[in-house]
Structure 1
């Protein structure tokens, strides 16, 4: 188990997410790595400003994207209510975010609005549909980027963690695979906040929770994935999600990251191995890999995430949360906090939620 206190790990996860988001703001969505290196050099080592004509144009180094803005909203809701209150969060979306966006991509806080938020805005504002009827099929990590706060808050209660993350995800994304992968990431982050290492055994930790009926994943195999016995009933292991594969991926990826026979050098090229696009099934393996490989080195984890190009903002945000949960807030270099817009406020907010998680 981790040597850091749980409160330190919880605050580290949240600040790691904020930092990763802001690090990706400048060099976001470069799919041509030669262009990325032309504009930012061969190694990005801190916050940068978006260039003219690029995504997030006009924003400053160290500012949060819209993903960070929404994460902040959810953290504030949790802190002020002491728990997850869906009505309160939806009200904040209606009153604090939707008046600032217009349904187009290049608009709103952070300079860009993701597909699922655009679709939700159109349903809520233009079509006047109630929450519960606005979710779309976007296959991105958008929900993870906010529900990681729920993983931190309910780390000690994985059943509540899974339910609340599932419910919150379904506000904007309703594809079953996306929801399963989102809940699985939250379960991993919650386990890291508890103090479990991100290694090849992390999936076993999570599968134990599945067998106990804590995590809502379907499971019919034996303890070591052997076939079920003849006549064995599966009813105690039937969950909301069709299979537990989303929980198995992080263990395999972490094992690969620590296998000396498997080499990805430099580590940022993991984005070429698993893919640079925005889809959740590209971003998550990269985040798991970097957080497992640099489990005690926050700086290397987030900077390799940023330098991989493509959807490096989400990659860095998710990697930052996983890495911060392992190094703790105490393991995050002060320069990242000092350079973050409203860093002191975000730090205090992270500490307040961390206090609620223990």
Structure 2
């Protein structure tokens, strides 16, 4: 892995996430695809402003939803602290987000505050400390910000797992959400290390479980077709119940390359896997689009956007994976030019990428 190659991929992942989120700002949360096409045409290919009365109304084309805003907050904390500083991150959320929102859904930076953040804000205002305000919202809110942590610790999977799990649990404590969020972060790290997103990627992830780098419980050892004889090792504190969340990406990548399994056009992955916000709808569609368009950033994010529903999360998470695969240099310049605060975000992404290389 060359230093230049890693930095280009790391910056591509971060900027790809910002771009995917912003591309979906205007057409966000249209579950009626006929209405989506009536208002934005048969194919959305660039940034657009939200229509009056819709989510995020009043924001300009190229702006971010709150997911992009939170990713930037997390990236800035990493850049300024040199790594994940939980106290700094929590302080920024208290001062920069919770102090600015009313608790209503249609409020706050980006024009809408997610369920998990609203719940955490309400409990903070009741006097509960951080560490006791996480809730059971099953959206991808944590994944949308911890992808920056995955970039920062891409060269150190145990540190990645620790940071991602701890930050996720600040707002989302459901263990399935946690397992799927960490699986996404670990996958992103492997792509940054140069691994391909193919049918073998899950085996590579499981090898990291068996080496002790990722905190998932498994009863089989490498090369075993059945469970081993003898007593099962007890689960450790903080260990997820099974590694199944790591198996999804490889299976879906295999399907994306199987000529007998076709979703045409690719944006209809949202109809196959589901258009809503929950992790069990979002991650499978993200993995499909990222695997099918692994070397084509534009196609991947635009199919994510054109699928409707929670397309901001779908495009953001897809953009990070494919950005990690192709690198920043392969992202179309028009997407960078039209993105708000692109220069500042690019500088922070470069700084965090260099921290990852320098400190592991």
Judge same fold: TM > 0.5, yes or no: yes
1:33-112 to 2 correspondences below 5 Å: 33-112=33-112
Residue matched to 1:28: 28
Q: Output the CA distance in 1 between the equivalents of 2:172 and 2:190.
A: 24
User: 1:110-147: per-residue Cα shift (whole Å, max 9, x none)?
Assistant: 0000000000111112x011000100000000000000
Report if the CA contact (8 A) 1:24-1:306 is conserved: yes
Query: Are 2:171 and 1:172 equivalent residues in the alignment?
Result: yes
Residues 13, 322 of structure 1: 8 Å contact kept:
yes
Deviation at 1:234, TM superposition (A): 2.7
Q: Quick one: distance in 2 between partners of 1:224 and 1:152?
A: 30
Q: Give me the CA root mean square deviation.
A: 1.5
- Give the distance between the partners of 1:165 and 1:327, measured in 2 at CA: 24
Contact 1:140 1:280 in 2 (8 A): yes
> How much does 1:19 deviate?
0.3
* TM superposition shift of 1:233: 3.9
Q: Closer, same or farther in 2 for the Cα pair 1:140/1:208, shift >3 Å?
A: same
For 2:2 and 2:308, how far apart are their aligned partners in 1? 31
Contact map agreement 2:66 2:111 (CA 8 A) in 1: yes
TM-score in terms of structure 2 length:
0.96
Q: When the two structures are superposed, what TM-score results if normalisation uses the length of structure 1?
A: 0.97
1:154-181 deviation digits (Å, cap 9, x = unpaired)? 0010011011100000000000000010
Query: Does residue 141 of the first structure (1) align with residue 147 of the second (2)?
Result: no
State the shift of 1:223 in Å.
Answer: 2.4
- Extract structure 1 runs of 4+ deviating beyond 4 A: 1-4, 235-239
Aligned residues: 357
- Cα deviation, 1:78-99, whole Å, max 9, x if unaligned, reads 1111110000000000111111
Question: 1:348: Cα distance to partner?
Answer: 1.2
Paired residues of 2:158 and 2:213 also in contact (CA < 8 A)? yes
Report the Cα offset of residue 347 of structure 1: 1.2
Shift of 1:222: 3.5
Give the structure 1 partner of residue 293 of structure 2.
294
| Deviation digits for residues 24-58 of structure 1 (CA, Å, limit 9, x no counterpart) | 11000011100000000000001011001111011
Stretches of structure 2 lacking an aligned partner (at least 5 in a row): none
SS at match of 2:192: helix
Kept in 2, the 8 Å contact 1:28–1:313? The answer is yes
Separation in structure 2 between the aligned mates of residue 354 and residue 222 of structure 1, nearest angstrom: 34
Unpaired segments ≥5 residues, structure 1: none
Aligned to 1:215: 214
Query: CA separation in 1, counterparts of 2:180 and 2:151?
Result: 17
CA shift for structure 1 position 238: 8.6
